[in-house]
Amino acid sequence: MTADRVTVRLAAGTVRGRRTDGHLVFQGIPYAAPPVGERRWRPPAPVEPWSGVRDATEPGNPAPQTARSFADTTALDEDCLTLDVTVPEGADPGTRAPGAGLPVLVWLHGGGGTNGGAALYDARRLAAAGLVVVIPNFRLGVLACFGHPGLADAGTFGLQDQQAALRWVRREVAAFGGDPANVTLAGDSYGALMVAAHLAAPGSAGLFHRAVLQSAFAVAGETPAHALIPGVPALPPRWVPVDELERTGAATAVERGWVRSGGDPEAALAQLRRVPVADLLSASDDFIRPAFGGRVLPEAPGEALSAGRFPRVPVLLGTVRDEGRFFVGMFADLVGNPVTADGYPRLLAEAFGDAADEVAERYPLDRFPTPSLAWAQVSTDRAWARPTWELARTLTPHTRTWFYEFADDDAPPTVPIPGFPAGAVHASDLPYQFDVAGAPLAGAQRGLADAMNRYWAAFAANGDPARPDLPDWPDVDTGHVQSLAPDRIGGVDYAAEHALDFWARMP
């Protein structure tokens, strides 16, 4: 074995990773059997053991997906239930006693529920802060959240994949020097929504001990028309009742010609499992909401969290300061359909009805360089800041909670939008935590990245981000929100910055 290779023995067999830049990296490790053929739309099954040494130096397949303006990957192979592990060089692979290893952070990627994958996240920065980082691939879109009459566990297959990855961590992470008794479940955007689902899912209880939600979109409640993307109608809660999902799935299957109307449900499901994956993906946008009302997710997470029906794990959550600019810039300006001065009042009226004039008075066009930036601020405050703040206030009576706002004006966007001032746009915090291709950090940004990762590592280790070598970070029960910027880390008046008192009485 060459000096840049390292092997670890797991229950299913031995894997060979690589040693690079002071880190050990293992990629494409299977944590469940391939969900192909008859296993499509079934709970993840155990991995088949292998003989010899399995190569773990190349990424596994991302979940099937089609390329989008914000994600250029196309993938069609359903054999995707693998994960990546990044370990700091000083860890001790082979450690198995709980409490003897490093804190573990399991990262759930974003991508709108239809896109993304583990290979996009080089976790060396977080690992360097003293963490073993595990990033799973999991089923997305129509393969994750499809429902149909007779289909058991409808709408929860991606959630179950993540539970299988967490069970793998409990069994195997000690072999990489991690502590299975100290696991933090973290995610960004869609991944953060899934963290909220795990807080409410009975089968996830005990599989993680802290939770991090970064830029979670509307865990509870509806979102007015256009408030996420101009032109998109009002959005229902991010969770769908299982009976509604079954009706939607049955109708979609008939409309797309996958099955005939009125057939036997079991025969229909058998036929659906033979539909080419490329055909299924054409409907993925309609199947991104996990279903509740069944065994895996008995109730909507927003309701469960509001009622305190979740494990009392510490929670760290927050947003980036200019969340909405990503969606307005990407889906309006970039496609040649920016918000105009004439169109702004129409958007307000369709979103807020009788309250539109009040919103227009609070967000007048002459305050902003362009109408698109005016609408982006409305979107940021109503669709991101308000629901995230409400979620934090919901959690604080039940568990200790910390809140942050990422606020680097010059953050490198993960998807640049030419001619559009991004600011601290949605997902622009990710290059500070992960080494993201095409998003380099400069000067003081590297210092901010180091501080953020040390805060996250302290939270993973102790359930509290406070560190003696960094600015103080009180919990949100004190009203404190930690602003994270290269030139300043400290408290910010988040409620005033995002007009939360105003939004509290708006639709």
- Residue 306 designated active-site: no
Cβ–Cβ < 8 Å for 128, 88: yes
Q: Which of 238, 236, 223, 215 is nearest to 108 (CA)?
A: 215
**Which of 78, 172, 246, 323 is an active site residue?**
323
From the candidates 23, 172, 189, 405, which is the catalytic residue?
A: 189
Active-site residue, 189 included:
yes
Q: Which residue, among 41, 51, 38, 8, has the nearest Cα to 26 in the 3D structure?
A: 8
Of 395, 185, 203, 225, whose CA–CA distance to 290 is shortest? 203
Tell me how far the alpha carbon of residue 398 is from its chain's centroid: 23
CB 437 within 8 A of CB 474: no
Phi, psi of 147 (to 5 degrees): -140, 155
pLDDT by position in tens, the chain (length 507): 345 899 999 999 999 999 988 899 999 999 999 999 999 999 999 999 999 999 999 999 999 999 998 888 999 999 999 999 999 987 766 655 556 799 999 999 999 999 999 999 999 999 999 999 999 999 999 999 999 999 999 999 999 999 999 999 999 999 999 999 999 999 999 999 999 999 999 999 999 999 999 999 999 999 999 999 999 999 999 999 999 999 999 999 999 999 999 889 999 999 999 999 999 999 999 999 999 999 999 999 999 999 999 999 999 999 999 999 999 999 999 999 999 999 999 999 999 999 999 999 999 999 999 999 999 999 999 999 999 999 999 999 999 999 999 999 999 987 888 889 999 999 999 999 999 877 899 999 999 999 999 999 999 999 999 999 999 999 999 999 999 999 999 999 999 999 999 999 999
Q: Which of 109, 198, 426, 498 is catalytic?
A: 426
Q: Given the structure tokens 């629901």, which residue do they identify? A: 387
Cα gap 62→37, rounded to integer Å = 17
Parallel/antiparallel/unpaired status of strands 488-491 and 482-485: antiparallel
Q: What element of type H or E holds 272?
A: helix 265-272
The helix/strand/coil state of 256 is coil
23 contacts 137 by C-beta, under 8 angstroms:
no
Q: Which residues pair with 322 in a beta bridge?
A: 425
Q: 184-220 pLDDT, tens per residue?
A: 999 999 999 999 999 999 999 999 999 999 999 999 9
- CA 496 to each of CA 57, 123, 187, 381, 502: distance values in angstroms, whole numbers, following the listed order: 48, 34, 27, 10, 9
Q: Is 426 a catalytic residue?
A: yes
Q: Which of 97, 99, 316 is nearest to 210 (CA)?
A: 316
Calpha distance 240→222 (Å, rounded): 12
Report the distance separating Cα 48 and Cα 32, nearest Å.
Answer: 8
Is pTM beyond 0.85? Reply is yes
Task: Report d(CA 308, CA 279) in Å as an integer.
Answer: 41
- Between CA 358 and CA 336 the distance in angstroms is 29
Q: List, for residues 221-264, the tens digit of each pLDDT value.
A: 999 999 999 999 999 999 999 999 999 999 999 999 999 998 89
Cα angle: 137, vertex 115, 242; to 5 degrees: 85
Place of tokens 């960094």: 470
* pLDDT, tens only, 63-88: 999 999 888 899 999 999 999 999 99
- The one-letter code for the residue type at 206 is G
Residue 305 tokens read as 């969290």
Provide the 3-class DSSP secondary structure of residue 505: coil
Q: Which of 401, 431, 449 is nearest to 210 (CA)?
A: 401
How far is it, in rounded angstroms, from Cα 249 to Cα 255? 10
